[in-house]
Structure 1
Amino acid sequence: MTIPEAETETREVSDEVSRLCNQLLRTAKTPRHRAAVQALADERTILEVPAARHALVVDTSRGARANFEGLSGIQYGLGLDEQQRTFLGLVLSMVGIGITTLASVEDLDDRRLPIILRAILRLAGNDTIAVGTRL
């Protein structure tokens, strides 16, 4: 039985994104950048967009690193949907870029909201508050 070409391509992109996320986390300059990269890694769909990877990633002597400034200017030209743009705006605000208000979290879906909440906790240096479903 053979694996369909689309599934193989999807798996290759997923593997590439996983390797890229690990590299970006290793080369993150500050705790803010680490929290932002981790949020993008957890969200995943934004980094699966080739234009977003091209705008975010720069090669350095230490390997690839995140250049959030590269994303800020073309945020609306990346072909992202509204949920992805809102999430990206919040991530960019974590590193001090843009003017996305915290109130935009009300536009996030149930998958992305916990990711951004965990990112905010990482940014605050808090590892004691859990983010999950209320019982």
Structure 2
Amino acid sequence: MTTTEAEPEDQTTSDAEFQRLGAQLVRTAKSPLAKAAVQALVEERTILEVPAVRHALIDDTGRNAKADFDGLLGLQYALGLDEQQRSFLGLVLSMVGIGMTTIAAVRDLDDRCLPIILRAILRLADNDTIAVGTRL
């Protein structure tokens, strides 16, 4: 069995389980910055589904799983992410004050990930009046 064959099985760790984990991480976020970052990762999903990312990011004390972004510091290139995922993760880490990713990294994002980051930036700005979507 190859690694690519195992991925769909790993992803069947069920949508319900993923949603519970995402809700738990958002609920236990320590600040608005961390909450916006966690929401972006949950919405993007593919990064958070990588076992190495979950292992580095999630501090699970048995009772409450919470995101510990410091655990990702210096690991971006060792997590098995592709270029777009690394750029997305770098932008998310910059939201919580970790790393040195510039906003120019949005050029690496596709049409699915760019709106996620834009919504996260709006959450950081505590702005609920600007809509993110397709421009007509």
Q: Which residue of 2 aligns with 1:129?
A: 130
CA contact 2:87–2:105 (8 Å) conserved in 1: yes
CA contact 2:57–2:69 (8 Å) conserved in 1: yes
Once the two structures are superposed, the pairs formed by residues 14-93 of structure 1 within 5 Å of their partners are 14-60=15-61, 63-93=64-94
Q: Identity of aligned pairs, percent?
A: 69
- TM-score between both structures, scaled by the size of structure 1: 0.90
User: Deviation at 1:9?
Assistant: 4.8
CA contact 2:29–2:35 (8 Å) conserved in 1: yes
CA contact 2:84–2:109 (8 Å) conserved in 1: yes
Distance 1:61 1:128 in 2: 38
| Number of aligned residue pairs | 131
Q: Which residue of 2 aligns with 1:108?
A: 109
Indicate the RMSD between aligned Cα atoms, in angstroms: 1.8
Q: Does the residue aligned with 1:89 lie in a helix, a strand or coil? A: helix
User: Deviation at 1:7?
Assistant: 5.9
User: Deviation at 1:8?
Assistant: 6.0
- TM-score between both structures, scaled by the size of structure 2: 0.89
Q: 1:42 corresponds to which letter in structure 2?
A: E
User: Deviation at 1:6?
Assistant: 7.6
Distance 1:45 1:7, change over 3 A: closer
Distance 2:52 2:110 in 1: 23
Q: Which runs of 5+ in 1 are unaligned?
A: none
Distance 1:35 1:8 in 2: 29
User: Deviation at 1:103?
Assistant: 1.0
